Amino acid sequence: MLNLSATEATPAGNVPDTARGRDDYEIVRRTIEMISDRWRDQPSLDDLAAHVGLSPLALQRLFSRWAGLSPKSFLQAVTLDHARSLLDASASVLDASLELGLSGPGRLHDLFVTHHAMTPGAYKQRGEGVEMRWAFHASPFGRALLMVTEHGLAGLGFSDGDDAATLADMMNRWPCATHVEDEAATAPYAARIFDPAMWRPDRPLRVVFIGSDFELRVWETLLAVPFGRATTYSDIARHIGRPTAARAVGTAVGRNPISFVVPCHRVLGKGGGLCGYHWGLTRKRAILGWEAGVATG
């Protein structure tokens, strides 16, 4: 059974315990940050533990529980070589996904999603007439801000302590929409999204896209990249019929308003580099490493 939270699973299931889950991610985040900065020096478990103020054993157990991988394996998983092999293994994953539809064998861990586009008018009017209900929730990747409309999930972002900045970031995408804090409205979404036990094809998650035509095509393509696999910016460009627009694809991927659910973290540079992530490269590494742990665990 998957255990998203670093805390022990509760009898009721593996929904993260809010307080401890948040603290655990902060430790995991700092560990990954150090691994990312210093992976060339091969920092030892002792080095990492000292850096986050835990005993080596405690860090080993906390980290493995969270990621499904030991810090050492995780270190291996964030190297350039591994990213390249991930790309090799995922070659033409987009073509394959389209051929197989949603029932292919690689779909074991996927969060299933149905999407529909908000009217072009709503996009051009910058959210005019749309009512957004939002709240923050604990997640395995730090505090998550969710925004939902009556038609489904429209926004998901992350915070590393500055909730106001995250909220402003998300609100500014649709400045003319009505924004109301409503934890009851977003909580069911958060519970489903971050608990793989609730990822089921027969009950897909409804999401709403608000963006330009070009952005919509990029985001739709993202949904075809399976869990634990990766693609490249140029592959997406080719796939949507704009083979020379890789850079514009990068911008569109970066503007994806529903991160994690629309898996923008599964897009890498052609050489295996991570390139960028709107919510911080450390978080992109964390999610990719976590997926690797779930997929192999």
Partner DNA sequence: AGGGCCCATCGCA
Partner DNA sequence: TGCGATGGGCCCT
Instruction: Name which position in 157, 277, 286, 290 contacts DNA (CB under 7 A).
Output: 277
Which of residues 137 and 284 has its CB atom nearest to DNA in the complex? Answer: 284
Q: How far is the CB of 245 from DNA (least distance, A)?
A: 3
| 2 binds DNA, rule: CB under 7 A | no
C-alpha span between 255 and 109 (Å, rounded)? 25
Residue of 169, 148, 149 lying closest to 160 (CA atoms) = 169
Piece in contact with DNA (CB under 7 A), picked from 22-30, 86-94, 100-108, 266-274: 266-274
Element holding 142 (H helix, E strand): none
Which of residues 27 and 32 has its CB atom nearest to DNA in the complex? Answer: 32
Query: Is residue 146 within 8 Å of residue 155, measured between CB atoms?
Result: yes
* Chain centre to alpha carbon of residue 201: 19
Query: Is residue 242 within 8 Å of residue 234, measured between CB atoms?
Result: no
C-alpha span between 249 and 151 (Å, rounded)? 26
| 278 binds DNA, rule: CB under 7 A | yes
Instruction: Name which position in 253, 258, 261, 287 contacts DNA (CB under 7 A).
Output: 253
Piece in contact with DNA (CB under 7 A), picked from 48-56, 94-102, 172-180, 247-255: 247-255
| 117 binds DNA, rule: CB under 7 A | no
Which of residues 116 and 247 has its CB atom nearest to DNA in the complex? Answer: 247
Q: How far is the CB of 266 from DNA (least distance, A)?
A: 8
Q: What share of the chain is helix, strand, coil (3-state, %, to 5)?
A: 50, 15, 35
In the set 147, 153, 167, 264, the catalytic residue is 264
User: Which residues does 177 contact at the CB level (< 8 Å), separation at least 6?
Assistant: 126, 127, 128, 129, 130, 131, 132, 171
Interface of this chain with DNA, residues 190 to 229, rule: CB under 7 A: 212-215
Query: Is residue 284 within 8 Å of residue 248, measured between CB atoms?
Result: no
- In the chain the first and final C-alpha atoms are separated, in Å, by 9
Token duo for residue 242: 């704009």
| 244 binds DNA, rule: CB under 7 A | yes
10 Å Cβ neighbour count for 175? 10
Q: How far is the CB of 250 from DNA (least distance, A)?
A: 3
Instruction: Name which position in 3, 5, 7, 256 contacts DNA (CB under 7 A).
Output: 256
Which of residues 167 and 216 has its CB atom nearest to DNA in the complex? Answer: 216
* Chain centre to alpha carbon of residue 14: 19
Q: Reply yes or no on whether 264 is catalytic.
A: yes
User: Which residues does 236 contact at the CB level (< 8 Å), separation at least 6?
Assistant: 94, 218, 221, 222, 246, 249, 253, 267
| 245 binds DNA, rule: CB under 7 A | yes
> Binding pattern to DNA, positions 47-86, x when CB under 7 A?
---------------------------------x------
Instruction: Name which position in 56, 204, 242, 295 contacts DNA (CB under 7 A).
Output: 242
Q: Which residues bind DNA (CB under 7 A)?
A: 80, 212-215, 232-234, 242, 244-254, 256, 259, 264-265, 267, 269-271, 275-279
| Residues designated as active site | 264
